[in-house]
Amino acid sequence: MVDRRDFLRLSALSSAAALAGCATAAADKEGPSLPARKLNAPVVISTWDFGKAANASAWGVLVGSGSALDAVEAGARVPEADPGNQSVGYGGRPDRDGRVTLDACIMDAKGRCGSVAALEQVMHAVSVARAVMEKTPHVMLVGDGALQFALANGFEKQELLTEQSRMEWEEWLKTAHYAPVRNIENSTPGNAKDHDTIGILALDATGDLAGACTTSGMAYKLHGRVGDSPIIGAGLFVDNEVGAATSTGVGEEVVRIAGSHTVVELMRQGFAPEEACKAALERAVRRDPAYAKSIQVGFLALRRDGAIGAYAMQEGFTYAVKSGSREELVAAKHIF
């Protein structure tokens, strides 16, 4: 692990070498060269308590010598299929108009990525995102186009609104005074009922990273609203030279600071995973301190050597870790 002093020393040495004209061929990497570390792999981490079940599925892939990419997809599919999870996939809370719209993305060690936004009537949005990555020259498909693509590629169409989520939405309609301003739909923005997303990151035995993120988004959002989760660089970012990051919470705030990309770039500069997550959140706090106090945002990071870290705006963000014999739910530190 590079501590700050090592990092400064390494940077000073490399600038001195460059100044002395000792720099040889152009570097194949940008920025400071992180020293090789002992690889702690495989490892998988996921947001929230339901991440435990997702990790278990991903772990099965990783210990069977499967790839990080297969692992994160397998993990993300678990809450997507669970009607009891009302923030992801089947059973997700609908938008203001009663429609369940899903956002998801996936990214691998080679920087390949795929994404879908505002996808309706297909349970496994993460797998559609993977198909976008693998079968098209594009990164992102949205709305009807995403559905059309999914159906053409063998995904099944089904109703995603469960009786429970429909009843809660109808209850919400009785008191909702909708106006198109941010978070007006939420009685307490960022509370547990409005949010939750699975972001899952894995490092496989070969040292490859991958990540996935999938959600039904903010409950009772405006129809057509897309959050951070399907946006590469916001809800998820993977760079095999450095690490991977994912986010949960109020997506608009994560998009504003290109959150997951920021976390990865901070790790590239030598920040430890937890410090990188915290520093990214501090950008959002500096932007609007009063607003930042009222919302939840959480980042989760996995460095390329298997080191992990997380940080949240508020208390209450938990993440699940699976690595070797370690299997636990950890409460992230928080700013407020």
Give the binding site for ligand ASP (CB under 6 A). Answer: 195-197, 215, 217-218, 227-229, 248-251
252: left (phi over 0), alpha (psi -120 to 50) or beta: alpha
Question: What string of DSSP letters covers 31-61?
Answer: S--PPP-----SEEEEESTTHHHHHHHHHHH
Burial class for 174, CB neighbours closer than 10 Å (0-12, 13-18, 19+): exposed
The closest alpha carbon to 47, from 174, 192, 213, 167, belongs to 213
Place of tokens 């008191």: 175
324/101 Cα distance (integer angstroms): 36
Task: Note whether 133 and 106 are within 8 A (CB).
Answer: yes
Non-local CB neighbours of 178 within 8 Å, separated by 6+ positions = 96, 184, 185
d(CA 162, CA 164): 5
Contact assessment for residue 198 and residue 76, using Cβ atoms and an 8 Å cutoff: yes
Q: Which two tokens stand for residue 153?
A: 């590629």
CB of 87 to ligand ASP, least distance (A): 6
* Least distance between ligand ASP and beta carbon 251 (Å): 2
Q: For residue 32, which phi and psi values (nearest 5 degrees)?
A: -65, 145
Is the alpha carbon torsion for 23, 26, 29, 35 positive or negative? Answer: negative
**Between 55 and 248, whose beta carbon lies closer to ligand ASP?**
248
Q: How far is the CB of 182 from ligand ASP (least distance, A)?
A: 11
Told to judge if 214 belongs to the known catalytic residues of this protein, a careful annotator would answer no
Q: How far is the CB of 198 from ligand ASP (least distance, A)?
A: 9
Q: Exactly one of 101, 197, 246, 318 is catalytic; which is it?
A: 197
For ligand ASP, the closer of residues 195 and 268 by Cβ is 195
Minimum Å gap between C-beta 300 and ligand ASP is 11
The residue (of 42 and 227) whose beta carbon lies closer to ligand ASP is 227
Task: Using alpha carbons, select from 62, 127, 105, 53 the residue that is nearest to residue 245.
Answer: 105
Q: Which is nearer to ligand ASP, 116 or 250 (CB)?
A: 250
Exposed / middle / buried, residue 28 (Cβ in 10 Å: 0-12, 13-18, 19+): exposed
Least distance (Å) between residue 95 CB and ligand ASP: 11
Q: Which CB, 59 or 299, lies closer to ligand ASP?
A: 299
Closer residue to ligand ASP in complex, CB, 61/245: 245
Q: Which sequence positions are flagged as catalytic?
A: 197
